[in-house]
Structure 1
């Protein structure tokens, strides 16, 4: 079983979109969750995140959650949206260093920019841009995970 945990800041924009995109692929043997390093409990995904997902045929009920030790222990892969998120998790849970990487670091060879665009506070077009970036990254991730599960 592969257990993927997506992490962003508030768990209302990037990580819920990433979670929804990967879940929509319905890869056998892959479970997906999302949390935020500074998330409060129980917020829904941002309006534009929900709209952009829906515009692409992806429905996702979301309730934000902060990162807990149980999440780190549960996950086989922890994918952060930024280097900053990765560093924050490594400070709290150094024992998990072998399963933590930025999403871009895991799926791309480009080591220059490892951060996914943060749409927070932006327009719907900004969220669409982030969605497209996440979708492209998660398409590559899904290929890797599918091969790993076989």
Structure 2
């Protein structure tokens, strides 16, 4: 079983969308969760995130959670949305450093290590983020399955 944890800031936009996208792929022996560096525990995904997932027929059921030692230890692979998220996890959980990557880094993307945060943006901005996540996750799946 491969356990993947997606991490963003508040666990209401990017990481829940990434979690839902990967879960929807129904890959055998892959379990996925998401968490936030500064998440308010128990919040739903943002309205636009839920709308974009629904528009793309991606089922989801999300409540936000903080990154904890338990979630970090649960994961075999931690994929963050930004370089600063990666740094924060490596600082707070040094024992996990070898399994933490930005999603772009793990997917082999060059340039900026960050997935743009759609928080507070329009539905179109969330749609762009969704498509970016979908593309990056497709590349990550290839690597995971090798």
Whether the 8 Å contact between 1:6 and 1:35 is mirrored in structure 2 is yes
Match of 1:42 in 2: 42
Whether the 8 Å contact between 1:27 and 1:146 is mirrored in structure 2 is no
Q: Which of structure 1's runs of 4+ aligned residues deviate more than 3 A?
A: none
> Structure 2 length normalisation: TM-score?
0.98
Match of 1:56 in 2: 56
Paired with 1:74 and 1:53, the residues of 2 have a C-alpha distance of 26
Q: CA RMSD in A?
A: 0.7
Alpha-carbon shift at residue 109 of structure 1 (Å): 4.3
Helix, strand or coil at the partner of 1:7? strand
- Runs of 5+ unmatched residues, structure 2: none
Q: Aligned pair count?
A: 146
Match of 2:123 in 1: 124
Match of 1:113 in 2: 112
Paired with 1:16 and 1:74, the residues of 2 have a C-alpha distance of 17
- Runs of 5+ unmatched residues, structure 1: none
